Amino acid sequence: MSDAFEDMGPVDFLVIEFPGNRMTGEGFPLLLDLVDRGVIRVLDLLFVRKDVDGSVVGLELADLDGDGRLDLSVFEGASSGLLGQDDIDEAGMALEPGNAAGILVYENLWAAPLARALRRGGAQLVAGGRIPVQALLASLEAAEAAEGGDGPAASRP
Q: Say what the pLDDT of residue 114 is.
A: 92
- Nearest-angstrom CA–CA distance, 62 and 117: 41
Q: Say what the pLDDT of residue 156 is.
A: 45
Q: Say what the pLDDT of residue 66 is.
A: 52
User: Taking residues 104-118, what's their average pLDDT?
Assistant: 93
Sorted by sequence, the CB contacts under 8 Å of residue 69 that are 6+ apart come out as: 25
Please provide the distance, in angstroms rounded to a whole number, between the alpha carbons at the two ends of the chain. 51
Sorted by sequence, the CB contacts under 8 Å of residue 79 that are 6+ apart come out as: 44, 45, 46
Segments forming the whole domain that contains residue 52: 3-113
- Nearest-angstrom CA–CA distance, 44 and 119: 24
Task: Reply yes or no on whether the pLDDT at 82 is more than 50.
Answer: yes
Please provide the DSSP assignment of 23-39 as one string. ---TTHHHHHHHHHTTS
Q: Say what the pLDDT of residue 131 is.
A: 87
Summary mean pLDDT of the chain: 83
**For the whole model, what pTM was predicted?**
0.76
**Per the structure, how many domains does the chain have?**
1
Task: Reply yes or no on whether the pLDDT at 157 is more than 50.
Answer: no
Does residue 28 belong to any structural domain of this protein?
Answer: yes
- Positive or negative torsion for Cα 19, 24, 30, 34: positive
DSSP structural state of residue 111: G
Which has more confidence, 85 or 25? 85
User: Taking residues 83-108, what's their average pLDDT?
Assistant: 91
Which tens digits make up the pLDDT trace of 48-77?
999 999 999 887 665 555 555 555 666 666
β-strand 11-18 against 56-59: which pairing, if any? Answer: unpaired
- pLDDT-derived band at 107 (thresholds 50, 70, 90) equals very high
Does residue 95 belong to any structural domain of this protein?
Answer: yes
Which has more confidence, 127 or 112? 112
